[in-house]
Structure 1
Amino acid sequence: MKKILFFLLFSSILLFLTSCNNENTNKKIQLAEVTRSIFYAPQYVALEKGFFKDEGLDVELQTTWGGDKTMTSLLSDGSDIALVGAETSIYVYAQDSKDIAINFAQLTQTDGTFLVAKEEKSNFSWDELKGTTFLGQRKGGMPQMVGEYVLKQQGIDPHEDLNLQQNIEFAHIPSAFVSGDVEYVQLFEPTASAFEKEGKGHIIASFGEESGIVPYTVYMAKQTYMDEHEAEMKDFTKAIYRAQQWVAEQPAKEIAQTIQPYFEDTELEMLTSSIERYKSQGSFATEPLLQKDAWNNLKNIMEEAGELPEDVAYEELVNTTFAKDVLQD
């Protein structure tokens, strides 16, 4: 009897110690995302499907709502890794920061906004925008810079040919479009599709299709963190790559069902159509490697918008080590 009790006690202790050891091996990573968006579907897939956990990572996600706040969180050690527009790393570099932010994995590779009109346009021509009131995005942010870049490619000077409004906060742009005397607006999904379904607007063009490949949203970390946590960086990148491949292979509805817990107020049908729209135009990167051509396209877009503070070389702010290692495994 004593032997049985001793065996049970010993087994319990061993189980407890094993459990503790497993918890300790899950390396914690604080991840900050610039906003909550269907555009970031592969990230939510990695969380929901357990891809991070498979790599021994305990990833805690926080939404920091805005590029400035996201970078503040990263630079002040409020987060370890940030998902934000690649342009923010250039802004930080230009401020002579002691600890620069390095881009190491790309998540989205096109702009994610759509041109929405109040009235239906069966045969839309970009020239129709001239002389109209256009509700744009925040000055210096990727949506606005890409918007201006595309308009210029279409022969439209956004500051001369349009009544361009940029004084509305990101969260209030949709309601300002509906209630205001505005003819056109630049919107993300699922808002663009929701407006179309509700008769509040009509999607007539895609800025993502017009702008080409660009590192629109990327993962970045401070140089010091990256140097001290190389194993975690590779494991994180591996989980993201796995999620990117899964998203590329699965139908939109399956993806929508997987990430729905992150969008409880959005109907499954709307999630599905939004994901399908992004998939069809190649918005989700299928691998984490940020290419040099895409980086140069980003700088061209920033320069066209008058927002490039410094011509920063690809090799200076992009670390491809982890992405290349993952792709070769």
Structure 2
Amino acid sequence: MKHQKKYLCWLLSLIVVLSISACSFGGSNQETIRVSEVTRSIFYAPFYAAISQGFFEEEGIDLELTTTWGGDNTMTSLLSGGADVALVGAETSIYVYAQQATDPAINFAQLTQTDGTFLVSREKLDSFTWEDLKGSTFLGQRKGGMPQMVGEHVLRLNDINPHQDLNLIQNIDFGNIPSAFASGTGDFVQLFEPQATLFENEGIGHIVASFGTESGTVPYTVFMAKQSYINEEEEKLIAFTRALTKGQQWVDEQPVEVVAEAIVDFFEDTDVELVAQVVDRYKSQGSYATSPLVQPEAWENLQLIMDESGELPLQVQYSDLVNTSIAETVLD
């Protein structure tokens, strides 16, 4: 009896853990697609809107969503068969391809088409210019990560050598960067939302520029699947992409307050007003892709940014790692 109670307690704990790490959206008679997302972010609003508005259910997709927290974990989940689809930065597909993968990860639909970070100043600046960064202490993102690569690219575009013209700090863990700035480290910091807007609301810092606007279009966050899965389940991925496209168009057409209400349940302890502020900022600068099709020029811009930072292992042709047929079928 004692052993049985212990087993029941263990089983209940396991159920709780699994319910926290993974969510299922859909019905029992639908086709299942397991998705691993690299993080949970308002940056991904069109995807969550497609879920909340029932677009995946309409397309016969039972979506199992797991947040895997980090690019390495997300790609491990995809490549090991723990997920069918990964939502992650397109640069990861290049890293996998460079390792001569026999079953490479192929990008088939984009979600965001710009960088999602902002430059936050400690002091309120009435007329900011990039020249203001020279000689300052700049709290950047982790070396080798896409945000840092974009950050350095934008600095170079504005005639700033990131390693000579300012005191660049990039040895702080991603999760600790906001608290480091709030505690007094740095004159400027590169932050994701909603932290950038939250700091501005609280008077901790002031948003003075957008790295997404400055760097141009890139396939910043995409849905990818292994080539073998695309070969075997193309129709499922077409249905998936059709649902995603409905979400993209819905977000593009709806007022930010409506979008915020639709996705706020995906973000515990985040006020709907803050969600609306962030959605508005991303919508106004065109960060949310309104089409799932990855464009060739965006792919080339991605590789340029990686190359400038010394992180591009090899040049990869657009056609080698981007599947256009799925998105084109949906858009026809």
TM-score, normalised by the number of residues in structure 1: 0.91
Once residues 249 and 275 of structure 1 are traced to their aligned partners in structure 2, the CA distance between those partners, rounded to angstroms, is 13
Structure 1 equivalent of residue 78 of structure 2: 74
Structure 2 equivalent of residue 128 of structure 1: 132
What value does the CA root-mean-square deviation take over the aligned residues? 1.1
2:98 and 2:314 in contact (8 A); partners too: yes
Matches within 5 A, 1:86-165: 86-165=90-169
Once residues 166 and 87 of structure 2 are traced to their aligned partners in structure 1, the CA distance between those partners, rounded to angstroms, is 32
1:97 alignment partner, SS class? coil
Once residues 30 and 184 of structure 1 are traced to their aligned partners in structure 2, the CA distance between those partners, rounded to angstroms, is 39
Matches within 5 A, 1:128-207: 128-207=132-211
Structure 1 equivalent of residue 281 of structure 2: 277
Letter of the 1:137 counterpart: Q
Structure 2 equivalent of residue 28 of structure 1: 32
Structure 2 equivalent of residue 8 of structure 1: none
Once residues 185 and 239 of structure 2 are traced to their aligned partners in structure 1, the CA distance between those partners, rounded to angstroms, is 49
Once residues 298 and 112 of structure 1 are traced to their aligned partners in structure 2, the CA distance between those partners, rounded to angstroms, is 14
2:27 and 2:62 in contact (8 A); partners too: no
Structure 1 equivalent of residue 57 of structure 2: 53
User: Runs of 5+ in structure 1 lacking a partner?
Assistant: 1-21
Q: How far has the Cα of 1:33 moved from its partner?
A: 0.8
Once residues 309 and 141 of structure 1 are traced to their aligned partners in structure 2, the CA distance between those partners, rounded to angstroms, is 14
Larger Rg: 1
Percent sequence identity over aligned pairs: 62
How many residues are treated as equivalent by the alignment? Answer: 307
Q: Deviations over 1:14-67 (max 9, x none)?
A: xxxxxxxx9554111110111111000001011111111111111111111111
Letter of the 2:130 counterpart: W
Letter of the 1:135 counterpart: L
Once residues 23 and 137 of structure 1 are traced to their aligned partners in structure 2, the CA distance between those partners, rounded to angstroms, is 40
Structure 1 equivalent of residue 66 of structure 2: 62
Letter of the 1:49 counterpart: Q
Structure 2 equivalent of residue 232 of structure 1: 236
Once residues 249 and 285 of structure 2 are traced to their aligned partners in structure 1, the CA distance between those partners, rounded to angstroms, is 16
User: Runs of 5+ in structure 2 lacking a partner?
Assistant: 1-25
Letter of the 1:260 counterpart: V
2:139 and 2:185 in contact (8 A); partners too: no
Q: How far has the Cα of 1:180 moved from its partner?
A: 3.6
Once residues 295 and 154 of structure 2 are traced to their aligned partners in structure 1, the CA distance between those partners, rounded to angstroms, is 21
2:27 and 2:57 in contact (8 A); partners too: no
Once residues 153 and 129 of structure 1 are traced to their aligned partners in structure 2, the CA distance between those partners, rounded to angstroms, is 13
Q: 2:213 aligns with which of 209, 216, 238?
A: 209
Once residues 171 and 61 of structure 1 are traced to their aligned partners in structure 2, the CA distance between those partners, rounded to angstroms, is 22
Structure 2 residue 190 is matched with structure 1 residue 222: no
Q: 1:287 aligns with which of 280, 291, 301?
A: 291
1:226 alignment partner, SS class? helix
Structure 1 equivalent of residue 15 of structure 2: none
Structure 2 residue 330 is matched with structure 1 residue 326: yes
2:75 alignment partner, SS class? helix
Once residues 322 and 217 of structure 1 are traced to their aligned partners in structure 2, the CA distance between those partners, rounded to angstroms, is 17
Once residues 102 and 169 of structure 2 are traced to their aligned partners in structure 1, the CA distance between those partners, rounded to angstroms, is 36
2:229 alignment partner, SS class? helix
Once residues 57 and 153 of structure 1 are traced to their aligned partners in structure 2, the CA distance between those partners, rounded to angstroms, is 43
